[in-house]
Amino acid sequence: MFKNVLSRLVTQTVRPHRYAPPGPVIQRLIPASGPLRSFTDRKDEAQPQFDASLLDVLVCPLSKKPLRYDAETNELINEELGIAYPILDGIPNMIPQEARLIQKDSTEMPTQ
Amino acid sequence: MFQRRSRGQKYTFWLRDGFRDGESEERIKSYHRPHRRSSMQKSEYTCDHRPRVYKVFENVAQKYDIMNDAMSLGIHRVWKDALLHVMHPQPGAQLLDVAGGTGDIAFRFLEYIRLQEERQKRRAARSSQTPSWQDISNNYSTEDESRESRAVVCDINKEMLKVGKQKADSLGVSAGLSWVVGDAEELPFDDDQFDIYTIAFGIRNVTHIDQALQEALRVLKPGGRFMCLEFSKVNNPILSSIYDAYSFQMIPVIGEVIAGDWKSYQYLVESIRKFPNQEEFKGMIEDAGFYCVKYYNLTGGVVALHSGFKL
């Protein structure tokens, strides 16, 4: 087992070739330098775009209802509660306190 | 302040009485700079120490992996490999790694599954003695199984996830890997979604552990497995004293030298001591509703791997 540890210590940061097999598959899909609305693209790596396959599992942490992806503002919107969760660098931020209120007359989200 | 502290009498406060002793409490409070909220008070772990935890990990995010190697002398890799070995995921499994930070578990998971698939293909090739050209070309072109297995890394801290995402990009791994900022006590996932839920060295940082356990139960599919790696109680007295000496003397120093942050690593060591022991934590997991809960001691109890099933 320690041989494994040593070899990992040495090679951990230096092996882009290790994962070559997925390469050709990715290139077959839509190139990453496409328009922002290409969220049907599941496997892009070049730009920090939001992976739409996440939408299958993601829900609002407060109401547990599905969310809508808004490509213009790059946010995930829960219409029911009127809040929008921001996406930074392709990583959605699902902390309720950091969500933006869409309607001005909505009540404050409860902090925990 | 730390230089003035002498080894003799004051040292024993740390080991024997933890924080219940009045004098050591005062000393703890004096460590913190005035503008920082001290969360190490007597009624301590019931107050929300999320802002404190956030700051700790924000400060150390860039150096997190290096610090792990330095502090645990590389043994943390063995612990994480052991977790994967016990998990033994099959192709098609859906993993949720909470407090996954820089993605160590998720990377290992995807790698393990990739090796499993290769093993299966080799076995299939061996059993079918003369595969037709159609079979061979099918084997090469379908990537269905690797697309199905997916790892979602959830962490409360953006910085840690950013570091993890950079690591993924540099390794060229991104298929089936997703990053989400979320709270372990309030997961942004629907019910019955994942086959495996892991939380490696993260649950001691959660304010309400029982809530996190209930959320884990909620998002797991029936038959899903909960796995938790966490620092725990060392029973052997000799090992225990060596471990304590190392924790309180060496780790904050290493933290200061490498990450430039003494206090965060002091927090780390203190939070480890505060965490319930193996049996207590097993009880908490059972209370949350998991079945067949068991734990494995690694490195003499320094780390415990707890596992439970949602049935």
With CB atoms and an 8 Å threshold, state whether B189 touches A91.
no
Which amino acid would we find at residue B95?
L
Q: Convert the pLDDT of each residue in A16-72 to its tens digit.
A: 444 444 444 444 444 444 444 444 444 444 345 667 788 888 999 988 888 888 888
Going by C-beta distance under 8 Å and a sequence separation of 6 or more, which residues neighbour residue A27?
none
Going by C-beta distance under 8 Å and a sequence separation of 6 or more, which residues neighbour residue B255?
B60, B67, B71, B261, B262, B264, B265, B266, B268
Residue A54 within any structural domain of the chain: yes
CB B270 within 8 A of CB B257: no
Which amino acid would we find at residue B146?
S
Q: Give the pLDDT of residue B45.
A: 42
Per CB-CB distance under 8 Å, the chain B contacts of A112 are 48, 183, 185-186
Q: How far is B199 from B304, CA to CA, in rounded Å? A: 12
With CB atoms and an 8 Å threshold, state whether B179 touches A45.
no
CATH number, domain of A89, equals 2.20.25.10
Q: Convert the pLDDT of each residue in B76-88 to its tens digit.
A: 999 999 999 999 9
Number of domains in chain A: 1
Residue B192 in marked binding region: no
Lowest mean pLDDT among A74-83, B134-143, B210-219: B134-143
| C-beta neighbour count of B264 within 10 angstroms | 21
Task: Find the residue in B nearest to A52 (Cα).
Answer: B178
- Enter the pTM of the model: 0.72
Residue A59 within any structural domain of the chain: yes
- As a whole number, mean pLDDT of residues B49-59 equals 75
Q: Convert the pLDDT of each residue in B158-189 to its tens digit.
A: 999 999 999 999 988 888 899 999 999 999 99
What is the arrangement of strands in the sheet containing B150-155, beginning at the earlier edge strand? B177-181, B150-155, B94-98, B194-200, B220-231, B303-309, B291-298
Q: How far is A106 from B3, CA to CA, in rounded Å? A: 53
Pairing of strands A75-78, A68-70: antiparallel
Residue A89 within any structural domain of the chain: yes
Task: Find the residue in A nearest to B169 (Cα).
Answer: A45
Q: Chain A within 8 Å of B221 (Cβ-Cβ)?
A: no
Residue A61 within any structural domain of the chain: yes
With CB atoms and an 8 Å threshold, state whether A4 touches B74.
no
Q: How far is B63 from B101, CA to CA, in rounded Å? A: 12
Q: Select the more confidently predicted residue: B18 or B57.
A: B57
Q: Select the more confidently predicted residue: B159 or B50.
A: B159
Residue A12 within any structural domain of the chain: no
Of A90, A84, A81, A87, give the one whose Cα is nearest residue A68: A84
Phi (first) and psi of residue B150, to 5 degrees: -140, 150
Radius of gyration for the alpha carbons in chain A, expressed in angstroms and rounded: 19
Q: Chain A within 8 Å of B51 (Cβ-Cβ)?
A: no
| C-beta neighbour count of B101 within 10 angstroms | 27
What is the pLDDT confidence band of residue B129, given thresholds at 50, 70 and 90?
A: low
Among residues 127-166 of chain B, which lie with CB inside 8 Å of chain A?
143, 146-147, 150, 152, 156, 158, 161-162, 165
Per CB-CB distance under 8 Å, the chain B contacts of A91 are 158, 161-162, 165, 179-181
Residue B283 has pLDDT above 80, yes or no: yes
Per CB-CB distance under 8 Å, the chain B contacts of A24 are none
Lowest mean pLDDT among B4-8, B29-33, B137-141, B223-227: B29-33
Nearest to B183 among A44, A61, A64 (CB): A61
Q: Give the pLDDT of residue A104.
A: 53
Task: Find the residue in B nearest to A41 (Cα).
Answer: B175
Pairing of strands B194-200, B220-231: parallel
Residue A82 within any structural domain of the chain: yes
Say whether A16 sits in a helix, a strand or coil.
coil
Nearest to A112 among B162, B186, B188 (CB): B186
Task: Find the residue in A nearest to B157 (Cα).
Answer: A93
Domain span holding position A67? 46-101
Residue with tokens 């699902």, as numbered in its chain:
A94
Lowest mean pLDDT among A77-81, B23-27, B125-129: B23-27
Residue B184 in marked binding region: yes
Q: Give the pLDDT of residue B217.
A: 95
Task: Find the residue in B nearest to A6 (Cα).
Answer: B74
Q: Give the pLDDT of residue B175.
A: 82
- As a whole number, mean pLDDT of residues B46-74 equals 79
Strands in chain B per DSSP E: 94-98, 150-155, 177-181, 194-200, 220-231, 291-298, 303-309
Per CB-CB distance under 8 Å, the chain A contacts of B48 are 112
Residue A60 within any structural domain of the chain: yes
Residue A78 within any structural domain of the chain: yes
Q: Please tell me which of B15-19, B138-142, B276-280 the model is most confident about, judged by mean pLDDT.
A: B276-280
With CB atoms and an 8 Å threshold, state whether B180 touches A92.
yes
Residue B8 has pLDDT above 80, yes or no: no
Q: What is the mean pLDDT of chain B?
A: 81
